[in-house]
Structure formats: structure tokens, C-alpha cells
């Protein structure tokens, strides 16, 4: 489905990003994994290669414009082109009301979750135009559509990602570049297990119509479809992968 496509996946060393790396490689893509966690990223690249796939790891901070440019340059240098980018890196940030949110905390969330997507797109688009097109998948959230108390920076950033996605889609639709957003619900990742007790996880699960948390691979399958030639008339869209959270 993704045979010989070159794909960058940011935040690719764990959680949803890790599942996407494995799935893309399984579908035949050449994957450029980026993350701040060098140990986990290198280990994942080796795992992909041990199973016959193609992958490299580039340590990068998504909130750095320079790092985003370097990732694109490495992808083109190694594989000759760029077809797909999944701008997945993100953090949850502090839990606080708007009036109590720290300036430092706000800037950190916006820097990674929104600025990072813009920086990625800026350099990814440049490379894709030389290649005649491509597919950019920006990872928003259900909170790119609705609010969530004590998460103002995250909610603002993810709403921004949806708007940025629509603008990019409009601007490059006739140049072969498709830009779409995916909005996962609450997904059961190691980060969730690490920071939330079972009672909290059960509460979050109850907010979804399916009464469970999502699985990383369920989100990765949506990425793969949007990255593939099966979705060639799809751009500027927002796809919730949320077990019915937004339907309620």
C-alpha cells in the first residue's frame, strides 16, 4: 500500500508514532523516524530493519525549525525524495486553568504541538514540490474540535493544527500536495499508563461511545490510508479516530 514511499514520522519512537512506523514499514514505506528519545528511536529503526524494512533515525526536537529542516534534508539525502510526512510529535502540557497557566508552560506546548507542525510543513512542502506532490498528515486530537478543562494550551494548539491543515490543503491542492488532520481520542499508550491510574483511565474510557480507550494501531491505520494512493481525492479534512467521543 505504501511501497517505496518515503515517510517522515515525528515523535516516532513511542506510542502512536511507534505504531505508525511499524505499520508504514510493513506496508513497504521507507521510514525516517524522528524523536528526542535517541535510544528508543535507534532501537526501533534497528527493529524495522531486522524485519526486512527500511528505516533511519534522526534525533530532532520538533519545536526547532532547524531540526525540522535537518530531518527533511536527511530524508532526501538518504532516500532521494519525500512522499509522506506524519507530524505526530506532541506533549500534553500542564493541567491548569487559563488564568493559572504559566507562560513557560504555554510556550512549551505551543512550541511543540503547533509551531512544530508549521516548521515541519514548511520544509516538507518544499521537498514535496520538487517531487511532484505528497501527503502531509497532521496529528490533531479530539481536542482540536472541543474544549477540555485545564488543558487550554493543548486545546488551543490542536485547534490551530486543524486550521493550519485546512490552509495548507487549500494552498497546495493543485500542486499535488494533500494535507489532512487526524484527531485521535484518548489512546492507550505507555504514556497514559505511566501518568494515569486505572480509575482515571476508566473515567476517560467512559467518555467514548465505545466505552474504551483507543489502540495506537487503530490511529496508525488512518495515517496509512491518508498516506496512500487510496485517498487521492482527500485533502483539507479532519478525521476523528475517537470511538465516538465527538458524537456525544
Q: 177 in helix, strand or coil?
A: strand
Catalytic residues, which ones? 154
Query: Residue 194 has what pLDDT?
Result: 82
Q: Is the pLDDT of residue 196 over 90?
A: no
Q: 87 in helix, strand or coil?
A: strand
For 196, residues 6+ apart whose C-beta sits below 8 A from its C-beta are 204
Q: Is the pLDDT of residue 19 over 90?
A: yes
User: Which of the four CATH numbers 3.40.50.720, 3.40.50.2030, 3.10.450.50, 1.20.58.100 does domain 6-240 have?
Assistant: 3.40.50.720
Place of cell 505507555: 190
Query: Residue 195 has what pLDDT?
Result: 80
Q: How confident is the model at residue 222 (pLDDT cuts 50, 70, 90)?
A: very high
Q: What is the pTM of this model?
A: 0.97
Q: Is the pLDDT of residue 66 over 90?
A: yes
Running DSSP on this structure, what letter comes out for residue 115?
Answer: I
Amino acid at each position: 500500500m505504501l511501497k517505496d514511499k518515503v515517510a517522515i514520522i515525528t515523535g516516532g519512537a513511542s506510542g502512536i508514532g511507534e505504531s505508525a512506523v511499524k505499520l508504514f514499514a510493513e506496508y513497504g514505506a521507507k521510514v525516517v523516524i524522528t524523536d528526542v528519545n535517541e535510544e528508543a528511536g535507534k532501537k526501533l529503526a534497528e527493529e524495522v530493519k531486522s524485519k526486512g524494512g527500511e528505516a533511519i533515525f534522526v534525533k530532532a526536537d520538533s519545536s526547532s525549525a532547524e531540526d525540522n529542516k535537518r530531518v527533511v534534508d536527511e530524508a532526501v539525502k538518504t532516500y532521494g525524495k519525500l512522499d509522506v510526512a506524519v507530524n505526530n510529535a506532541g506533549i500534553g502540557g500542564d493541567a491548569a486553568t487559563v488564568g493559572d497557566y504559566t507562560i513557560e508552560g504555554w510556550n512549551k506546548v505551543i512550541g511543540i504541538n503547533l509551531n512544530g507542525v508549521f516548521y515541519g510543513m514548511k520544509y516538507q512542502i518544499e521537498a514535496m514540490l520538487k517531487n511532484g506532490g505528497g501527503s502531509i498528515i497532521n496529528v490533531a486530537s479530539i481536542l482540536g474540535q472541543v474544549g477540555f478543562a485545564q488543558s487550554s494550551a493543548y486545546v488551543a494548539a490542536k485547534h490551530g493544527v486543524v486550521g493550519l491543515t485546512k490552509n495548507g490543503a487549500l494552498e497546495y491542492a493543485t500542486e499535488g500536495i494533500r494535507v489532512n488532520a487526524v484527531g485521535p481520542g484518548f489512546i492507550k499508550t505507555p504514556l497514559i499508563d505511566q501518568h494515569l491510574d486505572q480509575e482515571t483511565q476508566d473515567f476517560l474510557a467512559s467518555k467514548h461511545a465505545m466505552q474504551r480507550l483507543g489502540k495506537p494501531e487503530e490511529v496508525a491505520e488512518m495515517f496509512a490510508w491518508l498516506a496512500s494512493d487510496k485517498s487521492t481525492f482527500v485533502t483539507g479534512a479532519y478525521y476523528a479516530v475517537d470511538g465516538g467521543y465527538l458524537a456525544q
